[in-house]
Chains A and B, each alone.
Chain A
Amino acid sequence: AQRVTQPEKLLSVFKGAPVELKCNYSYSGSPELFWYVQYSRQRLQLLLRHISRESIKGFTADLNKGETSFHLKKPFAQEEDSAMYYCALSGLSFNKFYFGSGTKLNVKP
């Protein structure tokens, strides 16, 4: 069965500090991995997907199939990064998206 695990419910860092939001997954196959973000009073939206190998708002995420991880990283956190972050996966059929429990990132001034 598929599962997405985000071990941290809350992560607090100071502005300018590096940040890493952890995500581990289990899936019997080759999943697609995503990070979604929900800013205050906004709807949930895609931040980045592993297949695009892109950097969005300074965030990157590398898929490590050996460790089944897809951690989200940013070298220098900004206050506007404060939000709820969800890791998600979808399977080969791309019909279903499974989400983790989310990590609330709080960037302090």
Chain B
Amino acid sequence: SQTIHQWPATLVQPVGSPLSLECTVEGTSNPNLYWYRQAAGRGLQLLFYSIGIDQISSEVPQNLSASRPQDRQFILSSKKLLLSDSGFYLCAWSDKGSQQNTEAFFGQGTRLTVV
């Protein structure tokens, strides 16, 4: 069966420090991968999505970047964190399947606090 791992679960980083959040998927190949940010009162905001290795699209301009060095690995990064980067980050994957099988599967999330 497919599983998604996301780490770390919580992270406290100072302003200006770099960031690297990692997500890996097991049990499937060539998945679509996503990074979302969940903010109170603002719901889930799609940050990045990827349909393949090194194929990444950004949905919103921001201080973050994403990379997909391997088929089932998705990394969210920043060179210098801002206070506004604090939030709950969710990684997700979906199959490139038929219409009936479309579904996004989510990781447990990372709570990032920038201080």
- Write the residues of chain A forming the contact surface with B, with a CB cutoff of 8 angstroms: 6, 9, 32, 34, 36, 43-46, 49, 51-52, 86, 88, 90, 94-102
Most chain A CB inside 10 Å of its own CB: which residue of B59, B97, B103, B105: B103
Contact yes or no, B36 A9, CB < 8 A? no
Contact yes or no, A96 B108, CB < 8 A? no
Contact yes or no, B46 A96, CB < 8 A? yes
Contact yes or no, A49 B103, CB < 8 A? yes
Q: How large is the interface on B (under 10, 10 to 19, 20 to 34, 35 or more residues)?
A: 20 to 34
- Write the residues of chain B forming the contact surface with A, with a CB cutoff of 8 angstroms: 32, 34, 36, 41-46, 49, 51, 59, 90, 92, 94, 96-97, 99-100, 102-109
Contact yes or no, B36 A101, CB < 8 A? no
Chain B, residue nearest A6 (CB): B43
Partner of A45 from the list B43, B102, B106 (CB cut-off 8 Å) is B106
CA distance A96 to B59 in the complex (A): 10
Contact yes or no, B106 A94, CB < 8 A? no
Residues from chain B with Cβ under 8 Å of A45 in the complex: 105-106
CA distance A88 to B36 in the complex (A): 13
CA distance A45 to B42 in the complex (A): 18
Chain A, residue nearest B42 (CB): A101
Q: How far is the CB of A81 from chain B (nearest CB, A)?
A: 19
Contact yes or no, B108 A32, CB < 8 A? no
CA distance A109 to B73 in the complex (A): 44
Contact yes or no, B108 A43, CB < 8 A? yes
Partner of B44 from the list A9, A51, A99 (CB cut-off 8 Å) is A99
Question: 10 interchain pairs (CB within 8 A)?
Answer: A9-B41, A44-B106, A49-B102, A49-B103, A86-B43, A95-B49, A96-B46, A99-B45, A101-B42, A102-B43
